Amino acid sequence: MTEGNWAVRARGLRKRYGEVAAVGGIDLEIAPGEVFALLGPNGAGKTTTVEILEGYRDRDGGEVSVLGEDPGRAGRGWRARIGIVLQLAADAPELTVAEMVGHFAGFYPDPRRPAEVIELVGLTDRSRARIHTLSGGQLRRLDVALGLVGRPELLFLDEPTTGFDPAARRAFWEVIRSLSGDGVTVLLTTHYLDEAAALADRVAVISDGTIVAEGTPGDLGGRAAAPAVVGWQDGDVRRAERTSQPTRLVAELAARYGGEIPELTVTRPSLEDVYLELIGEKR
C-alpha cells in the first residue's frame, strides 16, 4: 500500500518535552476502514502521539500523513474529514442535547442528521434534556455524538466508554462496528483490554515512547503461539500442565479417563496477560 493509500502513516515520529522523550521514533500505519487500538499506560506517549496525528501538537521529527495530508499543515477542509471525541459537552450546561448536537452539525459541510447521531449514542430519550442534568456516562455519550456528527472519514476515540455502564459499553461497541462497516477508520485508545479485543482489527502497545508490539488482538506478542495450560481434576488433586500441543494432551487425558475429563480447562495467555508483560508490569 502506498503512502497515499494509508489512512494514517507515521515514520520516525518524535516529540520531546525538555529532557523527556515523550515519543521516541514511532512508526505507524493504519489502513482505511480499520479499527486500530493504541494501548499503553499513562505517560507512555499515547496522548502525545494522537494529538500530533490530530494536528493539535507539533512534532520534533519524523514524517506523518493523515488522510493524505500532513496534519501540521492541513487546513479546514482536512479537519472537516476527521472526528475527535473531546470533553466539550459540559461547557454548555444550559443547552439541550439536541441543541448541542445541532450546533456542532453546523460546523461541517455534510453532517449527519442530529437525531440520527443522538440515536446512535443512545440518548434519544434525553434529547430535550439540558446538559447539566445528564449523568457522567450520558455526558460522555454526548461527547461521542459531537465527534460523529461531521460524518468523519477518520475518528479519534480517546477512552470513549469511560463512565459507561456495561450495557452502554456493549451498545457503543455496536456503533463502532457499524461505523467501521461503513468504511470509517477508527483510532481508539482505551484502558479496557476487553474493548480492544472486541473492536480492534489490530493493536499496538506503546511504552516509554516507543511501540513495543503490534498485531491482531489474537496474536499480539506471540499470544496465539504461546503454550496453553491444560487443567483437570484428578481425584482430590487439581492438576495442570503447560504444553504447546494441547489437543494431543486432551486426547491422551480423554483416553485415560474413558471419555469425559473431569473439570477440563484449556487456557492461553489473555490479552491482558500479554499487555502487562509487554509494559513490564506484574500482577
At 212, which CATH number? 3.40.50.300
Residues in the chain where the model's pLDDT stays below 50: 282-283
Do 210 and 233 belong to one domain? no
Cβ(7)–Cβ(66) under 8 Å?
Answer: yes
Tell me the C-alpha distance between 140 and 237, whole Å. 49
Question: Is 277 contained in some domain?
Answer: no
Question: What is the pLDDT, as a whole number, of residue 120?
Answer: 84
Element (H, E) at 28: strand 20-30
Beta bridge partners of 243: 228
Cβ(231)–Cβ(237) under 8 Å?
Answer: no
Do 28 and 75 belong to one domain? yes
Cβ(46)–Cβ(189) under 8 Å?
Answer: yes
Owning domain of residue 154: 3-218
Do 191 and 236 belong to one domain? no
Neighbours of 117 (CB within 10 A): 25
Do 10 and 149 belong to one domain? yes
Question: What is the pLDDT, as a whole number, of residue 282?
Answer: 41
Do 112 and 244 belong to one domain? no
Element (H, E) at 202: strand 202-207
Question: Is 280 contained in some domain?
Answer: no
Helix (H), strand (E) counts: the chain: 9, 12
Question: Is 64 contained in some domain?
Answer: yes
Question: What is the pLDDT, as a whole number, of residue 4?
Answer: 59
Do 105 and 199 belong to one domain? yes
Question: Is 276 contained in some domain?
Answer: no
Do 143 and 109 belong to one domain? yes
**Centroid of chain to Cα 138:** 20
Question: Is 118 contained in some domain?
Answer: yes
Question: Is 273 contained in some domain?
Answer: no
Do 63 and 186 belong to one domain? yes
Q: Where are the beta strands (DSSP E) in 99-153?
A: none
**Which of these, 138, 127, 125, lies nearest to 168 by C-alpha position?**
138
Do 173 and 258 belong to one domain? no
CA distances from 178 to 5, 10, 35, 114, 174 (A): 22, 27, 11, 17, 6
Cβ(41)–Cβ(212) under 8 Å?
Answer: no
Do 140 and 263 belong to one domain? no
Q: Strands 265-267 and 228-234, how do they pair?
A: antiparallel
Do 19 and 149 belong to one domain? yes
pTM of the model: 0.81
Neighbours of 126 (CB within 10 A): 19
Question: What is the pLDDT, as a whole number, of residue 3?
Answer: 53
Tell me the C-alpha distance between 171 and 158, whole Å. 17
Question: Is 57 contained in some domain?
Answer: yes
Cβ(111)–Cβ(151) under 8 Å?
Answer: yes
Question: What is the pLDDT, as a whole number, of residue 283?
Answer: 41
Tell me the C-alpha distance between 143 and 122, whole Å. 12
Report the first-to-last Cα separation within the chain, whole angstroms: 40
Task: List pLDDT tens digits, range 172-189.
Answer: 888 888 888 889 999 999
**Which of these, 40, 149, 42, lies nearest to 85 by C-alpha position?**
149
Question: Is 281 contained in some domain?
Answer: no
Do 231 and 96 belong to one domain? no
**Centroid of chain to Cα 199:** 7
C-alpha cell at 51: 494529538
**Domain total for the chain?**
2
